[in-house]
Structure 1
Amino acid sequence: MAVTDIFCRSDRFEDSVVTVGGWRIRVRVRRGTGVPLVLCNGIGASLEVLDPLVAALDPCTTVIRFDVPGTGGSPASPVPYGLPALACGLGRLLTKIGCGVVDVLGLSWGGALAQQFALQNPRRCRRLVLVATGTGALMVPGHPRVLAKMLTPRRFTDTGYAAAIAGDLYGGTARRGGADIARIFRIQNHSGSRIGYIHQLLAGATWSSLPVLPFIRQQTLIVAGTDDPIIPVLNARIMDALLPHATVQVHAGGHVDILTRAVELAPTVTSFLTER
């Protein structure tokens, strides 16, 4: 099984569909130089949601992003999956598009996948960036009222609803009004499927990195906001204590400020990835 012979080039971006392990995964690559950066997205979000971050990163960096099964342009998996299986699939995907050693950035739910990928691929993953994320089922949780709003993907399909709940759900800049959040979600080309969202919820609920963090040896940057209702900042402190080579960057923002304040926060990521 190989990359579908359909590539749509726009500026420096290449879109493709890669088949791995029975999954058809939509991939977008911005070609550049150096060690490629793989972006693992938050739950239910398509790769377009990461546009503000990609635009703010070093323009010379190769950036790879993808839709997990059941989100964006990737069809849902016929059966539930675990994060170890998805991390294995990500490795096979990278091989098929010709990537060897990579850096990995995970946002929120994608941070769980990034941790699992780093654990399973100690020589292939050079550096790790964990943004607004925690250790899965064993972590300091957000308020139940906040987490209840994440049980459905409605915010991705109803921008009015997304704007209305943005402040309570995401904190940070979203408290000034949800227009920025709604605008980011509106650029999704595909809203994904309900079953795909459920599979992501199950994968996260049955996984934890807490017992294995000492075995993740990569240099790691942890980016956390002090006003994150979903992932309280205490989780970053716990991860910093358990990861052997971690640095914490705390900002006075919320869960998705890496997108709404990308111009301010992305240089920290770039500096970490390019430092000797």
Structure 2
Amino acid sequence: MEEVGGRTLRVAKWRLDAPSDHPPILFFNGIGANIEAVAPLAEVLDDRAFIMFDMPGVGESPDPVLPYNPFTMSWTAAQLLGRYDIDEVDVLGISWGGAMAQHFALQHGARTRRLVLIATTPGMAMVPGNPAAFTKMANPRRYIDPDFMNEHFATLYGGATENPGQKAEHVGRLKPPSPRGYLYQLLCMLGWTSLPALPFLGKETLVMMGDDDQIVPVINGKILARMIPNARLEVVEGGGHLFLLTHADESIALIRDFLDAPENAESKAA
């Protein structure tokens, strides 16, 4: 637990003190998702530092007293980086966290080297997915009722893994957010969109989408890739909303290749 920007947050850090040729990764998680849900990614990317935190009221971070917005949480994340003398990061975000990653890169461009947007949208200007998936996604029962999650896993996430052990492992890592924490996360992005600002986002960006995502259709990734000047789109075949889990090897290879590629001159000039 750390006091950051007037908030108490549960923070997870990997290899911050280890030598590396790569900048650390700052990761923003999906709505209601705790640190453990993405810990395997941090462990696999073992040649670089990795830092993330539970949003207020999520995981083991205490409930927020007041609502927050993308500006205040991006500022809080920057304060956390400053505490560890981190000047520059590669920013990754999935789903709800992909919107936070966009906002952080826009608000703190000097701290952002590259950006990876996973199964996400430009906010309220998104093209909606399967209404059945959205209804179930908004239901907190998916965090507290294993039977509900098992019954609706394919509808929620598409591209459902055929490996029951892999699905069970993911579900077992989830810890339900508090009602207030979940509500405040929903309110955080109410009315928010990055669309008008994306043409000014001068960071090399990888947009990753699953072609079987029931929650965030691929068209949203195409919009992001078209609007961000230095972006490219990678579509994971057969991948649903959780392709980072179900297609882990392919996804991690794409992320590594992108983060480790030489910097292009256009992006450096920007």
Superposed pair shares fold, TM > 0.5: yes
Q: Measure how far apart 1:104 and its partner are.
A: 0.6
Are positions 1:91 and 2:75 aligned together? no
Distance across 1 between alignment mates of 2:153 and 2:26: 26
RMSD: 1.5
Aligned partner of 1:141 in structure 2 is 128
In the alignment, what sits opposite 1:199?
A: 184
1:159-200 CA-partner distances (Å, limit 9, x unpaired): 2211111101100134x4765334213124x43211100111
What is the CA deviation profile of residues 127-182 of structure 1, one whole-angstrom value per residue up to 9, with x for unaligned ones?
A: 000000001111101122211112232212222211111101100134x4765334
Q: Percent identity?
A: 40
Q: Aligned residue for 2:11?
A: 27
Aligned pair partner of 1:245 in 230, 234, 239: 230
TM-superposed deviation, 1:246 = 0.0
Residue from 242, 250, 256 that aligns with 2:242: 256
Q: Aligned partners of 1:178, 1:85: CA distance in 2, in Å?
A: 39
Residue deviations 1:72-109 (CA, integer Å, cap 9, x gap): 11112111111111111111111113311000100000
User: 3-state SS of the aligned residue for 2:13?
Assistant: strand
Please list, as runs of the form range in 1=range in 2, the aligned pairs for 1:79-158 lying within 5 A after superposition: 79-158=66-145
Distance in 1 (CA, whole Å) between partners of 2:166 and 2:151 is: 11
In structure 2, what is the Cα distance between the partners aligned to 1:153 and 1:110? 17
Q: In structure 1, how many angstroms separate the alpha carbons of the residues matched to 2:166 and 2:78?
A: 33
Aligned to 1:224: 209
Distance in structure 1 (CA, Å) of the matches to 2:124 and 2:163 = 30
Amino acid at match of 1:256: L
- Cα distance in 1 for partners of 2:167, 2:32 equals 14
With normalisation by structure 1, the TM-score equals 0.89
Unmatched 5+ stretches in structure 1: 1-16
Amino acid at match of 1:50: V
Q: Is the 8 A contact 2:130 2:214 kept in 1?
A: yes
User: More deviation in 48-57 or 113-122?
Assistant: 48-57
The corresponding residue for 2:31 is 43
Number of residue pairs aligned between Structure 1 and Structure 2: 257
